[in-house]
Amino acid sequence: MANGKINTKAKDLKIECTDTKKSKLYDFLDKKLILYFYPKDLTPGCTTESIEFNDNLSKIKKLKANVVGVSRDKLSLHEKFIEKHGFKFPLISDPEEKLCKSFDVIKEKSLYGRKYMGVDRSTFIIDESGKILHAWRNVKVKGHVEEVIDKLKEVQ
């Protein structure tokens, strides 16, 4: 299993996606893929990050890459999230954490002293063969999308 490590292959898992034509992760690999994992739809940090990816989508498309967000939220909530903010890229619903676990993004977190298992904000660039070219862990939203675009230019 890849566990989201650079230079390993991502598993081609079955997915539940807002783009119903896509049923497996590799369905997005007609181009490079920016796959970003985030904790929760409609929360401030996740909304900011998703809006920044959406605002930079034309730059990303020019660099021949797709963008897909992943969280544990249900498809119905993803659809509300997309509708509310006009996202032009799909979101994957991963309530069973299959994709999250295959990229090793489920980590122990703490909120007001309470420990729980949650999604560690992470982003991966995957090439057309499924190889992970770059990984960011424990992402801080500010400036992250620019970093991803710079790295995408580098790996062209």
Per-residue pLDDT, 104: 96
Residue 6 belongs to some domain of the structure: no
Point out the residues that are catalytic.
46
| Any domain includes 11 | no
CATH (domain of 49)? 3.40.30.10
Q: Is residue 40 domain-resident?
A: yes
Query: How high is the pLDDT of residue 1?
Result: 42
- The answer, as to whether pTM is greater than 0.85, is yes
**Parent domain of 96:** 16-154
Query: What is the per-residue pLDDT for 2?
Result: 52
8 A C-beta contact, residue 147 and residue 36:
no
Domain assignment present for 129: yes
Number of domains observed in the structure of the chain: 1
Closest CA to 103 of 142, 130, 81: 130
Report yes or no on 1 lying in a domain.
no
Residues of the chain with pLDDT under 70: 1-2
What is the spatial distance between Cα 95 and Cα 16, in angstroms, rounded to a whole number? 9
Note the helical H segments in the chain.
Answer: 44-55, 57-62, 75-85, 98-102, 144-154
Do the domain assignments include residue 10? no
Element spanning 93, H or E = strand 91-93
Q: Is residue 2 part of a domain?
A: no
In a domain, 7, yes or no: no
Q: Nearest Cα to 72, choosing from 52, 45, 46, 49?
A: 46
User: Among candidates 12, 15, 8, 51, which has minimal Cα distance to 141?
Assistant: 51
